[in-house]
Amino acid sequence: MVRAALLTAVGAPLELAEIELPAPGPGQVRVRLAAAGVCHSDLSLANGVLRAPAPVVLGHEGAGTVTAVGEGVTTVRPGDQVVLNWAPSCGSCHFCEISEPWLCERAADAYGQTYGTLADGTGVYPGLGVAAFAEETVVGERALLPLPDGVPLASAALLGCAVLTGYGAVHNAARVRAGESVVVYGLGGVGLAVLQAARIAGAGPIVAVDVSPEKEELARRHGATDFLLADDQTARAVRKLTDGYGADHAIECVGRASTIRAAWSATRRGGHTTVVGIGGKEDMVSFSALELFHFARTVSGCVYGNSDPARDIPVLAEHVRAGRLDLEALITDRIALADIPAAFERMAAGRGGRSLVVF
Ligand code: APR
Ligand code: ZN
Ligand code: ZN
């Protein structure tokens, strides 16, 4: 039996529960979690903005140690330290073949299959296939990435979502170049990782925008050169900071139509908006057909920062070792499994950076 934070139904508070995990089947691996980050996507799954089957163990940003492997597993052994990947690619579908593994058609295969049971025999689903809000989990072999040298295991959890996503949004999706201006909307774990990635790219100015004034200090520590409180004058303020033009790039890390639209409005003519935030199905973004022509701006979504984790995690690790990427700075709260609801509350109130469950 392992202890886990269980979501019994959308809208219900997370509760601690004991879960029975079967021995890993063919191709599966059991992992003892060292740490798990609390991401806004977990909150969105808990409150129903995003859909997941229930009961479910959320948590998709984790790192830990392999404790057992199933038949046919060749890439890891018990004792190996690993980072969990919530979008494991199959290597053979259309998207994998065209080298866009973040769009793998089988990445979500594990989401809809129960992976353990409650004491009464009810099947439990693994949130985003990972189920990191538990002492141990069982995942497919392809959902594991080796812990790179020089990265502490606990903070490596953040590589699995916020950092891979934020860094990838800047370097793979937006392809920010040195000297380009960047405006970042939403300064949670993802937005703060975006700021660090923009700093690594040599961007400038790097303008951070949030509704929460307490994010200013955090933002500056992560590389923001300027901070703006989000209001209806933000686009104008961004233009002032960019010689009157607007930013070359906007990166939206909130997940709302209104902030996507605001980010788009803050870019220059021909500027580019990269949407990282995940919003609701009914939340429509609009711009007029004429302004699309006049401003010649582009807007695009990205998944997992358009990252190939096997290729990109070693790059992130090199930045960590060289002191350019500061994972510790992203973690503002180290918490216990029982404290995830309080972390959700901090998140909803716009307080702090990443909360990290430490086991
Ligand atoms: N304008 C600007 N910032 C806003 C606004 C707004 N209208 N509304 C909320 N924010 C800020 C919050 O104050 C907070 O600082 O956005 C930030 C969101 O941070 P977190 O809740 O910590 O979310 P995070 O885990 O970083 O995820 C961000 O990326 O992966 C997706 O589903 C995830 O959509 C979410 C986004
Ligand atoms: Zn996430
Ligand atoms: Zn695939």
Ramachandran angles phi, psi of 222, nearest 5°: -95, 5
Residue 336 to residue 359: CA distance in whole angstroms: 7
Residues 140-150 have a mean pLDDT of 96
Please tell me the CATH code under which domain 2-160+326-358 is placed. 3.90.180.10
What pLDDT is attached to residue 344?
98
Q: Looking at ligand 1, which atom is closest to the CA of residue 165? A: 30
pTM above threshold 0.90: yes
210 lines ligand 1 (CB under 6 A): yes
Residue 56 has pLDDT above 90, yes or no: yes
Q: Looking at ligand 1, which atom is closest to the CA of residue 41? A: 32
Contact 85, 62 (CB under 8 A): no
Residues 305-321 have a mean pLDDT of 97
* Omega of the bond leading into 101 within 30 degrees of 0 (cis): no
Share of the chain above pLDDT 70, in %: 100
Reported confidence tier of residue 52, pLDDT bands at 50, 70, 90: confident
β-strand partners of 6: 15, 57
Token duo for residue 290:
């004429």
211 lines ligand 1 (CB under 6 A): yes
Q: Provide CB contacts within 8 A for 77, sequence distance 6+.
A: 66, 69
Ion ligand 2: protein residues whose beta carbon lies under 5 Å: 39, 41, 161
Mean pLDDT of the chain: 97
Residue 159 has pLDDT above 90, yes or no: yes
Ion ligand 3: protein residues whose beta carbon lies under 5 Å: 89-90, 93, 96, 104
For residue 288, report the distance from its CA to the centre of ligand 2, in Å: 32
Residues 170-186 have a mean pLDDT of 98
SS3 234: helix
Reported as a single tens digit per residue, the pLDDT across 79-104 is 999 999 999 999 999 999 999 999 99
- Enumerate the domain spans of the chain: 2-160+326-358, 165-303
Give the CATH H-level superfamily of domain 165-303.
NAD(P)-binding Rossmann-like Domain (3.40.50.720)
- Tell me, what's the ipTM? 0.99
CA–CA distances in Å: residue 188 to residues 106, 265, 272: 29, 21, 21
* Closest by Cα among 219, 218, 258, 226 to 242: 226
For 42-53, the DSSP string reads HHHHHHTSS---
For 299-353, the DSSP string reads EEE-SGGG--HHHHHHHHHHHHHTTSS-HHHHEEEEE-GGGHHHHHHHHHTT--S
Q: Looking at ligand 1, which atom is closest to the CA of residue 278? A: 34
